[in-house]
């Protein structure tokens, strides 16, 4: 079934539309919002994005409308999202939009302002970790939570794969806001360069990634700061790099950069914070190193691991192939959302049916098969493969 969809965000800390991610780096919440709008539009839905853009524009089948203009009504699906600025959904209460299904799509562990006052049917969480936050800290009932990972634009990665330069195993990447672990990445680089000066660290992002002011990182031998770059350039960099450094203390709602690195075959070395254990299976498609990101022992473990892997190219290539098999591409996530809507709105022929006699590994409730994996309709947990360990809790 095809739907009329309104994606709404009241955030005004950044002016953007569908062209912005291709021109410059922006935060993961905005990037995910645009990618999902485009994936749904490519699937044949009528998608309107009401957000902080300068003017009306139709970009890649998505109609962008400035916040000051009236929202279309009625629609089938209303998706409300905030990922920056005030993190407040109070303006959504004044939209006056009639919708058959009303969804709040959360991007982080900060509870959106006025969430409890909104009349919504489902809360879409980007990880099991966020499901746990919404359930335990915000008081959202399990029955209203739907876990759905962010999706990757497959065309972008297909182009990058065709035109990628030869991969340099000594090339490390840090692509995020500095607060997520840039200093830890620096320390790992320093340890590696004591043994081999071929190691370099390429840094993307900076304070401006979150619309903040401030200088980029201080330069040093072996480190190259690129600042904010568009998606094409960053993706190409991941395809030509050996490792993505993601050692951090911050509770990670959903690591977009890790997902992108995995799809590009850039091996992730991360902390088991937040949603990382849901994507990274230690020793199979990446590595998780426990301990505070500022701990020298953590830096030493990461550096020694990277040195060992570079010296074993066959093992390293196997890890890359496993990492590149990530199932979360935009078209598949769009089909997953469609399937959920079909079930909730009673559309005929919905393909998601209980998988019997397979029980949920966490609560033994019946699993339901969706295009991107399995969900338990009793406890709302998501499993992208049935041998996936029960993760999403205890990684604060």
The domain that holds 30 is classified in CATH as 3.40.50
The pLDDT, as a whole number, for residue 395 is: 38
Residue 255: per-residue pLDDT: 94
On the 0-12 / 13-18 / 19+ scale of CB atoms within 10 A, 228 is: middle
The structure's pTM equals 0.93
Domain termination residue (choose one: 282, 306, 323): 323
Say if residue 123 is in the same domain as residue 238.
no
Are 49 and 137 contained in the same domain?
yes
Cis peptide before 238 (omega within 30 of 0): no
The percentage of the chain sitting over the pLDDT mark of 90, rounded to a whole number, equals: 81
Residue 230 shares a structural domain with residue 347: no
pLDDT at 396: 33
What CA–CA distance (Å, rounded) separates 37 from 259? Answer: 19
302 and 162 fall within a common domain: yes
Percent above pLDDT 70 for the chain: 94
Say whether both 187 and 80 belong to one domain: no
pLDDT in tens, 17-38: 999 998 888 888 999 999 999 9
Q: Which two tokens stand for residue 321?
A: 């192939």
- Measured in whole angstroms, the distance separating CA 346 from the mean position of its chain's CA atoms is 29
* Number of C-beta neighbours around residue 157 at 10 A: 21
What single string gives the DSSP state of each residue in 325-364? Answer: T---BHHHHHHHHHHHHHHHHT-TT----EEEEEEPTTT-
Residue 8 has pLDDT above 80, yes or no: yes
Joined together, the tokens standing for residue 235 give 């993706």
Dmax (CA) of the chain: 63
> Do 334 and 272 belong together in one domain?
no
CA dihedral (247, 250, 252, 256) in degrees, to 10, reads -50
Q: Which domain holds residue 384?
A: 1-151+328-396
Q: pLDDT tens, 286-320?
A: 999 999 999 999 999 999 999 999 999 999 999 99
Domain match, 137 and 170 both:
no
Q: Are residues 241 and 300 in the same domain?
A: yes
Closest CA to 227 of 245, 213, 209, 244: 209
CATH of the domain at 304: 3.40.50.2000
Whether the Cβ atoms of residue 352 and residue 335 lie closer than 8 Å to each other: no
**Token output for 62:** 């998505």
Structural domain count, the chain: 2
Question: Is residue 288 domain-shared with residue 351, that is, in the same domain?
Answer: no
Which of 280, 296, 323 is where one domain is finished?
323
Picking from 276, 306, 323, the residue at the C-terminal end of a domain is 323
Whether 303 and 358 map to the same domain: the answer is no
Same domain for 389 and 261? Answer: no
**Interval 353-377 mean pLDDT:** 85
pLDDT in tens, 121-141: 999 999 999 999 999 999 999
pLDDT band at 392 (very low <50, low <70, confident <90, very high): very low
Residue 357 CA to residue 186 CA, distance in Å, equals 49
Number of C-beta neighbours around residue 19 at 10 A: 15
Mean pLDDT of the chain: 92
Give the gyration radius of the chain's Cα atoms: 21
pLDDT at 119: 93
């Amino acid at each position: 079934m095809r739907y009329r969809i309104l994606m709404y965000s009241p955030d005004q800390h950044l002016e953007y539309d569908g062209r912005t991610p291709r021109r410059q780096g922006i935060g993961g919440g905005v990037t995910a919002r645009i990618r999902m709008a485009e994936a749904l539009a490519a699937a044949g839905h009528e998608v309107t994005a009401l957000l902080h853009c300068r003017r009306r524009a139709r970009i890649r089948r998505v109609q962008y409308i400035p916040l000051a203009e009236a929202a279309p009504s009625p629609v089938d699906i209303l998706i409300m999202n905030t990922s920056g600025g005030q993190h407040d959904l109070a303006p959504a209460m004044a939209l006056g939009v009639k919708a058959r299904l009303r969804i709040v799509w959360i991007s982080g562990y900060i509870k959106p302002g006025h969430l409890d006052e909104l009349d919504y049917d489902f809360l879409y969480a980007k990880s099991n970790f966020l499901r746990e936050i919404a359930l335990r800290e915000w008081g959202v009932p399990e029955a209203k939570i739907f876990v759905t990972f962010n999706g990757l634009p497959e065309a972008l990665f297909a182009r990058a794969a065709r035109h990628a330069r030869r991969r340099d195993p000594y090339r490390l990447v840090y692509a995020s806001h500095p607060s997520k672990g840039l200093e830890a990445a620096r320390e790992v680089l320093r340890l590696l360069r004591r043994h081999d000066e071929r190691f370099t660290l390429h840094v993307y992002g900076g304070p401006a990634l979150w619309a903040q002011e401030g200088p980029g990182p201080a330069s040093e031998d072996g480190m190259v700061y690129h600042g904010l770059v568009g998606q094409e350039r960053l993706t190409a960099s991941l395809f030509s790099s050996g490792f993505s450094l993601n050692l951090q203390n911050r509770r990670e709602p959903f690591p977009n950069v890790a997902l992108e690195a995995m799809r590009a075959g850039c091996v992730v070395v991360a902390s088991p914070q937040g949603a990382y254990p849901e994507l990274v299976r230690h020793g199979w498609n990446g590595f998780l190193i426990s301990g505070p990101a500022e701990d020298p022992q953590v830096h030493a473990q990461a550096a020694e691991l990277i040195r060992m892997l570079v010296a074993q190219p066959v093992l390293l290539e196997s890890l890359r192939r496993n990492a590149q098999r990530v199932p979360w591409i935009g078209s598949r996530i769009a089909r997953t959302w469609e399937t959920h809507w079909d079930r909730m709105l009673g559309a005929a022929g919905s393909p998601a049916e209980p998988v019997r006699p397979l029980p949920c590994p966490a609560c033994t409730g019946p699993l339901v098969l969706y295009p991107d994996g399995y969900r338990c309709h009793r406890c709302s947990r998501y499993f992208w493969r049935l041998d996936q360990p029960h993760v999403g809790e205890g990684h604060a």
